[in-house]
């Protein structure tokens, strides 16, 4: 094993996985260094959960290798599992156990030594906000608390790597914020991989995003860089026809697309009535707003709105996942 | 080993937190008590043959029902609720899971059986009890139970439906138990084979006070074989 500092915490080497005829993962490769907080993003069924199950050793890949801390998961599953804290999707926990009993059980199975364990557990419960529910049955807890118990069991053994599958799904907005804060807090000292299909989540918590679609890696970058990758800016345009007949969307779209400095135009929501909305993607750094204004005026269109928008991660995500997905569906 | 015990402890606690443990222990004590007292008062025999002697109405026949009932949830429930993924991604081997769960079921049945020692001490207080057959009877019943539990556990690893696990486990255990009485209707060429396969013929030997290594080996190998298959079944789920 190479030097611990330089060995990536996680390495996927062309992972593939098929369930019968269905291909869940195709040749997926990535590396994650120590201390990174990585968001695994993709539409449902893209292969996020499958990837996590392979990393944790629950599933074996059909081809390729998964390494955790430089150790092959398939070769020494016990060694790699000992370094991982994993919370599967929808936090499956023993409903008939009390919170404290369950955390003791998790500590036993994760090999936490008995001496000094009480203090450690107490600190973890405090961190996860569990002190008030220690004596309750897990089955009686709210979803938010369940999720926190799930997080607590994943960190009882002070793991190097924490893997969380959809840690905030099914929670209410307040609970989501709490869990996110907790994950951020954990991310300060540990390597964290979390999966989600909620975009603001990765933007809020992760330093790096890996986007998968259809079992393939389609992007791997920081949230800012991913947003920047779409060069140019988006201009939102809303127009209304001066004529009494409602304007033809396609005709107007073509008009705008022919305007200099415009790369492409997509119809978007208008503002109701006979208004039409568009998202205009610019070519290069030119600002085509003046030209768009002229085009509108010379074509008897009233301009209701004309402003620049930042390209959001959502745009990138949609383009990447839909484009790729469509080509292979 | 500490991990095996941790798993076993959790399961045992789960048994006693639910009605299962109490139903199993009570049912066993009732049937065992009835067999015991009927032998004691009706036949005025100071022995525990009735406790161990296999027959269609006997404590061992009850075990054929109770053992799969005890084991049916052990793996099926975890697979259904998803905790199976949590458990098997912890640093534990499939063997530790299988042994821990097996031990929990065994501890419960052994508890029920252990409580019948009260009958043995009652008899030894009244009359002259020959402890030889009693000890071998207990040993035989424990081995017999271990076999049933291992088969039941194997069935539980094969499905996420507890009812299916119970029914299949019961059918297998009952077939192995009752095939013994079938031998009287079979041609003499295969009768010894059937007798060898049956769990009750070996129990019969031990209830008589004969501890033969062949009987002990029979139970141990059947138990080991079923546990081995259960471990294989668990590890196959990672495929």
The string over B97-131, giving b where at least 16 C-beta atoms fall within 10 Å of a residue's C-beta and e elsewhere, is bbbbbbbbbbbbbbbbbeebeebbeebeeeeebee
Give the C-alpha separation, B45 to B159, whole Å.
Answer: 46
Centre a 10 Å sphere on the Cβ of residue B137 and count the other Cβ atoms it contains. Answer: 22
Highest-pLDDT range among A144-153, A173-182, A201-210, B177-186: A144-153
Highest-pLDDT range among A82-96, A219-233, A249-263: A82-96
| Interchain proximity B86–A96, CB inside 8 Å | no
Closest-CA distance of chain A to residue B110, Å? 24
What residues pair up with B125 in beta bridges, in sequence order? none
> What is the average pLDDT across A276-296?
81
Q: Are B76 and B161 spatial neighbours (Cβ–Cβ below 8 Å)?
A: yes
Centre a 10 Å sphere on the Cβ of residue A99 and count the other Cβ atoms it contains. Answer: 26
Q: Are A145 and A111 spatial neighbours (Cβ–Cβ below 8 Å)?
A: no
Q: Which of B111, B110, B114 is nearest to B144 (CA)?
A: B110
DSSP A47: S
The residue whose two tokens read 């043959």 is B49
Give the model's pLDDT for residue A7. 85
Displacement of CA B103 from its chain's centroid (Å): 11
Confidence check: pLDDT of A324 > 60: no
| Interchain proximity B91–A95, CB inside 8 Å | no
CB contact A164 to B (< 8 Å): no
> What is the average pLDDT across A141-169?
92
Closest in B84, B91, B239 to A110, CB measured: B91
Binning pLDDT at 50, 70 and 90, where does residue B100 land? Answer: very high
In chain B, residues with a C-beta closer than 8 Å to the C-beta of A58 are 85, 88-89, 238
CB contact B82 to A (< 8 Å): yes
Q: Check residues A284 and A99 and name the one with the higher pLDDT.
A: A99
Q: Which of A32, A10, A38, A26 is nearest to A64 (CA)?
A: A26
- pLDDT tens digits for range B21-58: 999 999 999 988 888 777 777 776 667 777 888 888 88
CB contact B10 to A (< 8 Å): yes
Q: Is ipTM over 0.95?
A: no
Q: Are A301 and A247 spatial neighbours (Cβ–Cβ below 8 Å)?
A: yes
Q: Which of A77, A67, A194 is nearest to B238 (CA)?
A: A77
Closest-CA distance of chain A to residue B86, Å? 7
Reported as half-sphere exposure (CB side, CA atoms, 13 A), residue A236 has a value of 13
- pLDDT tens digits for range A33-46: 998 999 998 888 88
Give the model's pLDDT for residue A229. 66
Q: Which of A86, A116, A297 is nearest to A191 (CA)?
A: A86
Closest in B83, B92, B239 to A94, CB measured: B83
Residues in chain B: 239
> What is the average pLDDT across B97-126?
92
DSSP A140: G
Tokens of A23: 């291909």
Give the model's pLDDT for residue B119. 84
Q: What is chain A's mean pLDDT, rounded?
A: 85
| Interchain proximity B82–A78, CB inside 8 Å | no
CB contact A304 to B (< 8 Å): no
Q: What percent of chain A has pLDDT over 90?
A: 40
The domain in which residue B143 lies consists of 2-237
Centre a 10 Å sphere on the Cβ of residue A189 and count the other Cβ atoms it contains. Answer: 10
Q: Are B237 and B76 spatial neighbours (Cβ–Cβ below 8 Å)?
A: no
Cβ contacts from A onto B, under 8 A: 65
Give the C-alpha separation, A27 to A217, whole Å.
Answer: 8
> What is the average pLDDT across A122-135?
91
Tokens of B121: 């001490």
Search chain A and give the residue with CA nearest B9: A105
> What is the average pLDDT across A267-296?
80
Interface of B with A in 174-213 (CB under 8 A): none
In chain A, residues with a C-beta closer than 8 Å to the C-beta of B81 are 92, 94-95
Domain count, chain B: 1
| Alpha-carbon distance values, A142 to A139, A173, A315 (Å) | 8, 14, 34
CB contact A146 to B (< 8 Å): no
Confidence check: pLDDT of B234 > 60: yes
- Structural domains of chain A in order of their starting residue, each with its CATH number: 10-228 (3.40.50.300), 233-310 (3.30.70.1340)
CB contact B6 to A (< 8 Å): yes
Give the model's pLDDT for residue A293. 87
Give the C-alpha separation, B210 to B159, whole Å.
Answer: 38
Confidence check: pLDDT of A328 > 80: no
Centre a 10 Å sphere on the Cβ of residue B57 and count the other Cβ atoms it contains. Answer: 9
Closest-CA distance of chain A to residue B185, Å? 47
In chain A, residues with a C-beta closer than 8 Å to the C-beta of B239 are 59-60
CB contact A149 to B (< 8 Å): no
Q: Check residues A283 and B37 and name the one with the higher pLDDT.
A: B37
DSSP per-residue string spanning B82-149: SHHHHHHTSS--HHHHHHHHHHHHHHHHHHHHHHTHHHHHHHHHHS---HHHHHHHHHHHHHHHHHHH
Strand order across the beta sheet in which A216-221 lies? A84-87, A161-165, A191-196, A37-41, A208-213, A216-221
The residue whose two tokens read 């790096």 is A208
The residue whose two tokens read 């150790």 is A71
Tell me the H-state helices in chain B.
2-17, 19-37, 49-52, 59-81, 83-88, 94-115, 117-126, 131-158, 162-182, 191-197, 199-207, 213-236
Q: Which of A54, A26, A52 is nearest to A41 (CA)?
A: A52
| Interchain proximity A108–B2, CB inside 8 Å | yes
Please name the helix (run of DSSP H) or strand (run of DSSP E) that holds residue A64, with its range, or none.
Answer: strand A63-68
| Interchain proximity B81–A58, CB inside 8 Å | no
Q: Are B82 and B76 spatial neighbours (Cβ–Cβ below 8 Å)?
A: no
In chain B, residues with a C-beta closer than 8 Å to the C-beta of A57 are 89, 238
- pLDDT tens digits for range A228-240: 665 567 788 888 8
Closest-CA distance of chain A to residue B112, Å? 23
DSSP A284: T
- pLDDT tens digits for range B160-187: 999 999 999 999 999 999 988 887 787 8
């Amino acid at each position: 094993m190479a030097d611990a500092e330089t060995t990536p915490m996680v390495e996927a080497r062309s992972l593939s996985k098929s369930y019968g005829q269905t291909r869940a993962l195709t040749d997926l490769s990535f590396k994650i260094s120590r201390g990174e907080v990585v968001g695994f993003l993709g539409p449902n069924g893209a292969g996020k959960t499958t990837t996590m199950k392979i990393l944790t050793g629950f599933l074996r890949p059909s081809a390729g290798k998964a390494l955790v801390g430089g150790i092959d998961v398939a070769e020494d599953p016990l060694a790699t599992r000992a370094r991982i804290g994993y919370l599967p999707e929808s936090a499956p926990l023993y409903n008939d156990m009390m919170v404290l009993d369950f955390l003791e059980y998790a500590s036993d199975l994760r090999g936490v030594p008995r001496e000094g364990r009480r203090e450690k557990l107490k600190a973890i419960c405090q961190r996860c906000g569990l002190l008030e529910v220690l004596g309750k049955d897990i089955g009686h807890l709210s979803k938010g608390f369940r999720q926190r118990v799930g997080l607590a069991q994943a960190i009882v053994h002070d793991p190097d790597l924490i893997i969380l599958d959809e840690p905030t799904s099914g929670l209410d907005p307040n609970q989501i914020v709490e869990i996110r804060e907790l994950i951020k807090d954990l991310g300060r000292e540990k390597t964290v991989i979390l999966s989600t299909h909620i975009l603001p989540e990765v933007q809020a918590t992760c330093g790096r995003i890996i986007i998968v679609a259809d079992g393939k890696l389609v992007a791997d970058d920081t949230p800012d860089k991913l947003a920047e990758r779409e060069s140019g800016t988006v201009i939102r345009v809303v127009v209304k026809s001066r004529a009494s007949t409602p304007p033809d969307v396609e005709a107007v779209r073509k008009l705008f697309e022919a305007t200099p400095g415009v790369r492409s135009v997509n119809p978007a929501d208008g503002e109701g009535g006979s208004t039409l909305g568009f998202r205009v993607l610019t070519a290069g750094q030119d600002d085509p707003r003046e030209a768009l204004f002229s085009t509108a005026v010379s074509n008897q269109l009233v301009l209701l709105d004309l402003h620049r928008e930042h390209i959001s991660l959502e745009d990138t995500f949609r383009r990447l996942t839909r484009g790729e997905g469509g080509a292979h569906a | 080993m500490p991990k095996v015990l941790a798993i076993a402890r959790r399961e045992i606690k789960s048994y006693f937190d639910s009605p299962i443990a109490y139903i199993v222990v009570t049912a066993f004590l009732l049937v065992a008590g009835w067999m015991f007292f009927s032998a004691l008062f009706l036949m005025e025999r100071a022995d525990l043959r009735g406790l161990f002697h296999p027959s269609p109405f006997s404590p061992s026949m009850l075990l054929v029902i109770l053992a799969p009932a005890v084991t049916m949830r052990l793996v099926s429930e975890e697979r259904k609720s998803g905790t199976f993924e949590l458990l098997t991604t912890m640093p534990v081997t499939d063997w530790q899971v299988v042994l821990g769960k097996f031990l929990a079921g065994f501890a419960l049945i052994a508890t029920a059986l252990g409580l019948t020692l009260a009958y043995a001490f009652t008899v030894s207080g009244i009359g002259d009890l020959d402890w030889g057959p009693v000890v071998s009877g207990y040993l035989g019943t424990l081995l017999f139970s271990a076999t049933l539990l291992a088969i039941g556990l194997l069935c539980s690893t094969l499905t996420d439906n507890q009812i299916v696990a119970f029914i299949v486990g019961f059918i297998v255990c009952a077939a192995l138990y009752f095939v013994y009485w079938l031998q009287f209707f079979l041609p003499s060429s295969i009768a010894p084979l059937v007798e060898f396969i049956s769990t009750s013929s070996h129990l019969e030997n031990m209830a008589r006070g004969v501890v033969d290594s062949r009987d002990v080996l029979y139970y141990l190998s059947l138990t080991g074989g079923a546990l081995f298959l259960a471990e294989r079944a668990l590890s196959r789920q990672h495929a």
